[in-house]
Structure 1
Amino acid sequence: MEALMRTVTEDGTLIFQTHSPTLSDPAEWENPPVPEEWHETIRRTMPAFDPAKTPVTFLGVLPELFRTHPAVYRSNHPAFSLSAWGKQAKELTSQHSLSFSLNDDSPLGKIYQTNAQVLLLGVDYDTNTSFHLSEYRSGTYKEMTRGAPLLVDEERQWVTYQDIEMDEEQFNVIGRAYESGHRVIKGHVGQAECRLFPMAESVDFATDWLKNK
């Protein structure tokens, strides 16, 4: 992580997805599901989201290590936060609406407006968070109601909000199609295969792909 920071330098900005999707409605849980009679108890007792304390889940060690760095800013979203370090870190993470969490008004949408590059470090396109922005832009996904425990006026509350049904299962297919016609820099960091490519160009490609699939 610190090697990435030294490479980017404080004149640039380094961003990680620091999602915590376990802070969600138990009715959505599938791996494993929980009995319906447990749902209300879980909603009532799940700890409220805290940007400084809530751990990253399902994303590996680097995002969690990055989140805890003292110079990193984390956006305030219970499920889909992003964290940033460097020149634009505070600006990019300062506002994160609860509803429609990764759309153009979110930190992810703000990042799209910069000259950002996506680095897939030892992972495939199915972990490429920026393709979720394409889902919103394509207008092809159903809306849904999500839920999460938040601190509201310093009191824990279960809050519901609107979002879309995200689906990263097609992201590897989209990524391969993107590679076939666009320049993607490939290399290795240790034994990890890596890909580097422009965020805006790939998001535009994925948006068109989803509209025309």
Structure 2
Amino acid sequence: MTTTPSPIAPHTRAGLAEQLSELGVARGGVLMVHASMRAVGPVSGGARAVVGALRDALGERGTLVVPSFTPENSDTSPQYLDRVRGLTGREREALRARMPAFDPATTAAPSMGLLPETVRLTEGAVRSDHPQTSFTALGLLARELTAGHRPDCHLGEDSPLARLHELRAQVLLLGTGFDTCTAFHLGEYRMPSPPRRRYRCVVGSAGRRQWWEYEDVALDDGDFAVLGAEFARADGGAGVRSGPVGSSTSLLFRLDAAVDFAARRLPSLRAGVADRAPCRTDG
């Protein structure tokens, strides 16, 4: 006789908020989140309820931040190169001609997943202006965190990551691993003489669509899983908390501690390594 497994009861906003608080999300604090809704499992109310739970755990004076990157806006990104592989030169040019200019108010961030898109579309959300690596925030410090994101600085000193570092924000990997940890990129900028490369994306200027090229640090997340494993073991694991949120096992830690660890460790971790693949989330 075979039996049909009972369906998993959906998680609730209140239950998720309680788990987040037990994990250590600071009430009144600033929290940057990377999330896998699949790992969290079924939630009554879907992604909106997860956003609500995060804001409940943070409280009225807290601030929620998510990456809302748009590598689709570039013709130098790995996503674009994958998309045009096998196309003729004419077909590539036709595709480039159809790519819309970045607009922080309307441009979607499909590669970031459902939770960041839900945050972006929530009333009161504020988004930074970078055409490829913008951040979206909700809460008390949303405007302060997203202001002044220089367009030729993906994730460095003139980006929301540096402001998050100053505020000693927390990072929540909600069902994801350290390979998605955007905070480590600020550590790349703080390495001695980090490698640089050219980027290109389509932007709007004075009401006109145009391509723009600039130089910035060559972002690389290929070793972030290894780096994160080392960070999680540092100081006997005291800096990284792990616990259940929904159906996921999630990680919580301070952003400044992760950045500082990356800045110290990456030079030796990458010593002698050449021809690394570009980061999947940049252009």
Q: In the aligned structure 1, how far is the partner of 2:151 from the partner of 2:84?
A: 24
Gaps of 5+ in 2: 1-50, 270-283
Q: Secondary structure, in 3 states, of the residue corresponding to 2:73?
A: coil
The one-letter code matched in structure 1 to 2:131 is P
Does structure 1 residue 195 correspond to structure 2 residue 273? no
CA deviation map 1:154-211 (0-9, x unaligned)? 1111111112221111011011101111421100111111000011011100111112
Q: In the aligned structure 1, how far is the partner of 2:204 from the partner of 2:113?
A: 26
Does structure 1 residue 45 correspond to structure 2 residue 95? no
1:77, 1:96 within 8 Å by CA — same for their partners in 2? yes
Does structure 1 residue 15 correspond to structure 2 residue 65? yes
Q: Secondary structure, in 3 states, of the residue corresponding to 2:112?
A: coil
Q: In the aligned structure 2, how far is the partner of 1:112 from the partner of 1:177?
A: 20
Of 58, 65, 74, 2:127 maps to 74
Does structure 1 residue 209 correspond to structure 2 residue 259? no
CA deviation map 1:11-49 (0-9, x unaligned)? 121100111111111575343443461443333331011
Q: Secondary structure, in 3 states, of the residue corresponding to 2:72?
A: coil
1:26, 1:39 within 8 Å by CA — same for their partners in 2? no
The one-letter code matched in structure 2 to 1:131 is F
Residue correspondence of structure 1 range 166-181 to structure 2 within 5 A: 166-181=219-234
The one-letter code matched in structure 2 to 1:142 is P
The one-letter code matched in structure 2 to 1:115 is R
Of 150, 165, 174, 1:112 maps to 165
Q: CA 1:208–1:55 in 2, change beyond 3 Å: closer, same or farther? A: same
Q: CA 1:135–1:33 in 2, change beyond 3 Å: closer, same or farther? A: farther
1:140, 1:211 within 8 Å by CA — same for their partners in 2? no
Gaps of 5+ in 1: none
Query: What CA RMSD, in Å, does the superposition of the two structures yield over aligned residues?
Result: 1.6
- Counterpart in 1 of 2:242? 186
Q: In the aligned structure 1, how far is the partner of 2:130 from the partner of 2:262?
A: 24
Q: In the aligned structure 1, how far is the partner of 2:56 from the partner of 2:215?
A: 39
Q: In the aligned structure 1, how far is the partner of 2:81 from the partner of 2:203?
A: 22
Residue 71 (structure 1) shift: 1.0
1:9, 1:86 within 8 Å by CA — same for their partners in 2? no
- Counterpart in 1 of 2:82? 31
| RCO higher in structure (CA 8 A, sep ≥6) | 2
Residue 89 (structure 1) shift: 0.4
The one-letter code matched in structure 2 to 1:135 is E
The one-letter code matched in structure 1 to 2:170 is Q
| TM-score (normalised: structure 2) | 0.71
| TM-score (normalised: structure 1) | 0.93
